[in-house]
Amino acid sequence: MASGNYGRALSVLLDRTLLALSAVTTAILFAWLLYYSSYGLDLSDEGFYLNFIANPFPYAVNLTVTLFGFICYWPYQWAGGDITALRMANVTLTMALGWILSFLVIRRFWTVDWLCAAVLSAGIGSLALVAFHLWLITPSYYTLTFQSLLMVMIGLLMADRPGRIGQVLGSILVGVGGWCCFMAKPTTAAAIALVVMLYVVVLRRKSLLPMLGAALIAFALLVVTAYLIDGGVAGLVTRMVNSAEMEILLGAGHEVSRMFRIDWLATSRSQLAIAALVATALLLSIFMGATRKLLPSLVLAAVLIVTLAIALLGTDPIGIEPSTLFLVPTFTCLGAMFYRKGSVLRTQTPASTALALTFLVLPHLSALGSAANYWRFGAMDALFWMLAAVVFLSPLAQHERSVAALLPLTVVAQLLTASVVNAGLLKPHRQVEDLRRYTAVTLMPGGGKLVLSQPFHDYLATARAQAAAAGLEIGTPVVNLAGGSPGLLYVLEARALGLPWLIGRYPGSSSVAVKALGLENCANLAKAWVLIEPEGPRHLDQASVMASFGARQADYVAAARFDPPVFDDYYPNATRQFLLKPIRPAATAEQSCREARRQRSDNQTRY
């Protein structure tokens, strides 16, 4: 009897110790990203996000087909244009939504008290931070899509709970989440609407009324948005159609014919071995945890210490790839199917099966319509894959060992998060390697500051000084024909004409630039400066694009020259950018623009 009491006391002590260590690890992982939110800047993708967020209203079309800038504009204004504050808010919202969803899943399918559930769900929810594994932490349509899906799933689980308040809050969250998803990525919004309908109508009929309310909320928000942005629903539809046509014209692989495809899961033998080893250790820890507590607890404690070392020291002993984020929960579920002659599989309920399958497909729905590999893109939403495993393994709760089973899942989620995010810090997207070595504090528009690499800081400081000396004023329109540096215009506080990013490299890039600039006012084009990068890897066809608004290079003078820093994966060779200042009288340039458009219209009519 005494031995049994001692064993239970030891089990409780070990669980509490591991829960406390896990809570500390979660807090450090979260604080880690907040601390480095002021580090680094990608002038290509993040430059596009910032240009669109800072002023989304002048653009009549959007490339890609997204309206996320109209949602993020207001937080940007509330933050006073401070990029660091905006990033910290983005990280906090993502972490909070991941935590809430994980908490609801655990409380719905596992027998855990609320305090343990809060700690465990925070650890599992930290996997939401993988969305920033490329170190693109500025709000974007990627993160807004993920946050929208989190809101929709939170709303579904809340609407499924007893009580009128939960159903009302759930319907509101599903409606707002669906609207946000449409604003971020319409293709994903259409897919998630179908999934919600199937989930509710086929399996959860009692939630039908709240979901009808959610649909009405989403529709009402969409109508209001249409009137605020384009003066009505017809205007918004026109915008979306024109944006889709421009996307196809670009030739970047966003055609409808390529949308529904099955990509190959790119992995390696080493990642397969790592995933199999982690899944095996995870299963052993789960199944041994209820009887032999000491050894599994020591192993979990060691893993948490390794996780902390990765975050605090920047070491990368494991080297987890995004594909492993899918393989680990998948191998774990496959292995659990053999436990006790498949008892985990045989005791699944319709609700758990439906929710696990929904979580399993959500990352691919998030990637729907993307030109990138769906598996790699979906890995940004890897939390859903882990939650699918949490739901699938929920029959283990019937054996009164919920904490013992969930702790290993939580610890593995934290380890994966630390490893993948750390890889992003060591090799950020299109930047100098290792953000931890950045030391140059750089003043940004809005009074905020970012810590950049010294060469990058020198490049921006030189560009800003030369542009100011040449007479470039805040808000001056600029046609960016460099094709790959939209963020430079943001730093110079100029207004990008046509699109927030006239993207280069694709077959139809110059055609898209001509079409987008054709929607601009000739008065703005007449006084616009031009940024070119003749030898750059993404430069546009300067002659044809300038001719579309009646201009030639002879109509400008090179007012400034910039030398972008060399990035191994983006700018492998040194190039030079030129900022061209218009020298023609504005009236002459405007008349020339109108004449060029008239001739272009006549030619299109003739043929």
- Each residue's pLDDT tens digit, 162-205: 778 888 999 999 999 999 999 999 999 999 999 988 877 666 55
Average pLDDT value over all residues in the chain: 90
Whole-number Å distance between alpha carbons of 283 and 325: 16
Within the chain, what is the greatest distance between any pair of CA atoms?
Answer: 99
Helix, strand, coil % in the chain, rounded to nearest 5: 65, 5, 30
- The predicted-structure confidence for 361-389, as pLDDT tens digits, reads as follows 999 999 998 888 899 889 999 999 999 99
Confidence of residue 292 (pLDDT cuts 50, 70, 90): low
Whole-number Å distance between alpha carbons of 129 and 94: 7
Domain boundaries, the chain: 453-606
Confidence of residue 1 (pLDDT cuts 50, 70, 90): very low
Measure Cα distances from 394 to 217, 278, 399, 528 in Å. Answer: 33, 19, 10, 61
Confidence of residue 565 (pLDDT cuts 50, 70, 90): confident
Going along 263-416, which residue ranges are E strands?
Answer: none
- The predicted-structure confidence for 447-482, as pLDDT tens digits, reads as follows 889 999 999 999 999 999 999 999 999 999 999 999
Give φ, ψ of 343 to 5 degrees. -60, -35
Going along 190-247, which residue ranges are E strands?
Answer: none
Q: Decide if 471 contacts 559 (C-beta within 8 A).
A: yes
- The predicted-structure confidence for 17-27, as pLDDT tens digits, reads as follows 899 999 999 99
- 326 burial (CB, 10 Å; 0-12 / 13-18 / 19+) is buried
**Strands across the sheet with 477-480, in order?**
495-496, 477-480, 529-532, 577-582, 556-562
pTM of the model: 0.95
Residue 134 has pLDDT above 80, yes or no: yes
